[in-house]
Amino acid sequence: MTTLPDRIPPQQDPPPGAEPLSVMGVDYWRLAYPGGDEVYLTRDGLPFFAHLDPAGFWTDKAWFRAHSRKLSGTSTLFRIATRPARGFSKDIVLKWNRMGQEVVREEDLLEELPGEFNSPYEEFSLVYDLRSGGCSGGAGVDGGESGRRVRVATHKPLAIYVPGKTASPERIGRKDRLMEPKIAAHKEVTLDVFRNYAVIYEWIKGIDAAEAWREGLVSEEEMRALVARAEGDLRAAGFLVGDSKPQHVIVRPDQAGRPARARDGRALYALVDFELLARTSEYEERRRRRRRSTYLLKQKQRFEPLPGRKLPEHLSATRVLGVDYIYGPVSTTGGALWVVGNEPELFDYFLPENWEGTPRKRLSQTHGMYYTVTRDHIHVVWSLSHVGQKPDADPFHRHGRRMLDYGYNSPFEKFALALELRDKGIPAIYPRAVYMAGEAAPLPEEMRDGRRYRSHAPLLTPDGRPALRPDRDYFMIWGYWNGPDERLAALDGDYYEGISALQAHRCGVLSLEQYNEVMNRHRQRLAAAGFEDLSLSGKHALLSLRMGELVRTADGRPEVVVCNFELLRRRS
């Protein structure tokens, strides 16, 4: 087989027609081919996109038969020399993924070991995490029980190959009960139960530990010690694997016929086969805490300018009604997402797959507002926008007429109002993101209000489309009030408890006299800043409890946070 020369000029620019997307923290470039074939290139596979054309390694059966070798193992995998491109051929390993199939487990395996095959996207996400050091990676983070920094070498993930040809799930061996949670977990890309998936890795030169033992390069004791060491390194990095075997440990013989060794005298090795790779429960918890800590810090810094920083290809900086956003498409739903601020790392936290399907608690019977904890353990409140609907108000009552004359604010207006209030010294809940979902069901004619769509017509997305569309549903994501962002970034855990003024009165925290005083002062503060709430109620004034006591301002009065912007307007 023709192998890759030692030095090849890297070609990092995506090929024409490549669609960028991110799945489970891994960036891909999707290429579509005749017949429905798809290839998802990783950053390591991008320089070799010409070699990873399906015709160069799989669909040309004559080439495949002449330039491939089936490898041993319980799964179906091949070593293939691709068709030459740019003057050389590339040696790859193609392995057909077994997600949704039953895993035959040994009775003596530990319960914590993974019991399901990874999807190809899960596998690559885990492998990239492992390659970066896992829980031992990152500045100032010690890994494992030994506290040492662990780098586990693996073969490089190049691409995921999805043939266009379909087959019944029964023929593929997939079980509905195993595929359903996989499909639910893959919001960024749709898993097709009728299609096969293959992972493609770069071929690693060398032989596995079992072969090295059979050829007399290592003793049986050395072989077992090497496998145990690999398992220990995995554990120290925060990982475990359900099928640890000598065949998965690759060594490279030196000129003397012994495994090559590092400066410390230990044999160099690399791991392959990750269909049963998983993070330890300890690492998962550490990862969750680290991601939340990063989130809190990024929220504190979200409006800081980022001069010279290059955004990911699928994201754009934009400004709507005076508010800075990071904008990007949501490929899985055909929607779009605007995340408040200038920090692109916050974008993924608000993708719908991170909050839409998590357990929720309804906060308002009239406004459809829900509290949830996202998959990253971020506390948020989300609600469906009423923009485009007429308020349910009495047209024969003065307040009702004013509400109907004004109409519901759009999500972008609400966010602009919330930030303007904060700039004027009036606390307000934190606007986080606007999510535009799929097509909306048409409203009855008598309920429609098209004024916001007309007034927002000049507002466009970075890709030239209307930001506010009547054929789409809009969701607003707010920070759940448990304290100021600056306070939580410095001391995460000392939370405030939010309670509306009306609820505080009903619970006996505020007397009727105190309640009326809070509401009158709240109304006066809004008016002094140039605002009025056309539907003001005690539910719109949020108070804070800390250790059962009301949080108060410097003058001793209960601090009030504005938490409803549906019919808040600037005074003329």
The answer as to whether 241 is a domain residue is no
pLDDT of residue 427: 92
pLDDT of residue 2: 46
389 vs 254, more confident: 389
pLDDT tens per residue across span 162-189: 999 999 999 999 999 999 888 878 877 8
CB 448 within 8 A of CB 390: yes
406 falls in which pLDDT band (50, 70, 90)?
very high
471, 488, 505: which is the final residue of a domain?
488
The answer as to whether 138 is a domain residue is yes
Considering the domain architecture, whether residues 44 and 182 belong to the same structural domain is answered as yes
pLDDT of residue 399: 87
Considering the domain architecture, whether residues 197 and 301 belong to the same structural domain is answered as no
Considering the domain architecture, whether residues 52 and 196 belong to the same structural domain is answered as yes
Q: Could you give the CA distance from residue 418 to residue 320 in angstroms, rounded to a whole number? A: 14
Q: Could you give the CA distance from residue 488 to residue 246 in angstroms, rounded to a whole number? A: 47
The answer as to whether 257 is a domain residue is no
Tokens read off for 567: 């019919």
Stretch 330-340: mean pLDDT, rounded? Answer: 89
CB 87 within 8 A of CB 1: no
Considering the domain architecture, whether residues 200 and 293 belong to the same structural domain is answered as no
**Per DSSP, what are the bridge partners of residue 41?**
29, 159
The answer as to whether 240 is a domain residue is no
Pairing of strands 91-96, 77-81: antiparallel
The answer as to whether 335 is a domain residue is yes
* Alpha carbon distance, N-terminus to C-terminus of the chain: 78
Stretch 447-451: mean pLDDT, rounded? Answer: 91
Pairing of strands 541-546, 568-570: unpaired
Considering the domain architecture, whether residues 481 and 336 belong to the same structural domain is answered as yes
248 vs 548, more confident: 248
pLDDT tens per residue across span 207-237: 989 988 998 888 899 899 999 999 999 999 9
pLDDT of residue 331: 77
Poorest-pLDDT segment among 270-274, 284-288, 457-461: 284-288
pLDDT of residue 442: 79
490 vs 121, more confident: 121
Poorest-pLDDT segment among 91-100, 238-247, 468-477: 238-247
Poorest-pLDDT segment among 177-181, 222-226, 285-289, 304-308: 304-308
pLDDT tens per residue across span 4-21: 444 454 556 788 889 988
Closest-CA residue to 25 (of 131, 116, 96): 131
* Model confidence at 388: pLDDT above 80: yes
Q: Could you give the CA distance from residue 453 to residue 303 in angstroms, rounded to a whole number? A: 28
The answer as to whether 462 is a domain residue is yes
User: Which sign, positive or negative, has the C-alpha torsion 142, 277, 155, 220?
Assistant: positive
Considering the domain architecture, whether residues 336 and 197 belong to the same structural domain is answered as no
The answer as to whether 508 is a domain residue is no
Q: What are phi and psi of 52, to 5 degrees?
A: -95, 15
Considering the domain architecture, whether residues 306 and 193 belong to the same structural domain is answered as no
Stretch 514-524: mean pLDDT, rounded? Answer: 94
Considering the domain architecture, whether residues 199 and 291 belong to the same structural domain is answered as no
450 falls in which pLDDT band (50, 70, 90)?
very high
Residue 362 CA, chain-centre distance (Å), reads 24
Tokens read off for 2: 């023709």
107 vs 185, more confident: 185
CB 135 within 8 A of CB 208: no
User: Which sign, positive or negative, has the C-alpha torsion 528, 534, 537, 542?
Assistant: negative
pLDDT of residue 1: 41
Considering the domain architecture, whether residues 29 and 176 belong to the same structural domain is answered as yes
Q: Could you give the CA distance from residue 442 to residue 469 in angstroms, rounded to a whole number? A: 12
Considering the domain architecture, whether residues 34 and 179 belong to the same structural domain is answered as yes
Residue 297: give the domain boundaries: 286-488
* Structural domains in the chain (count): 2
For the whole model, what pTM was predicted?
0.69
The answer as to whether 59 is a domain residue is yes
Considering the domain architecture, whether residues 193 and 299 belong to the same structural domain is answered as no
Stretch 136-141: mean pLDDT, rounded? Answer: 47
Q: Read out DSSP for 496-559?
A: -EEEEHHHHHHTTSS-HHHHHHHHHHHHHHHHHTTEEETT--GGGEEEEEETTEE-B-TTSSBP
Give the other-Cβ count within 10 Å of 165's Cβ.
12
* Model confidence at 200: pLDDT above 80: yes
pLDDT tens per residue across span 69-96: 999 877 799 999 999 998 999 999 999 9
446, 461, 488: which is the final residue of a domain?
488
pLDDT of residue 7: 46
pLDDT of residue 419: 96
pLDDT of residue 490: 58
204, 228, 258: which is the final residue of a domain?
204
Considering the domain architecture, whether residues 328 and 465 belong to the same structural domain is answered as yes
pLDDT of residue 441: 76
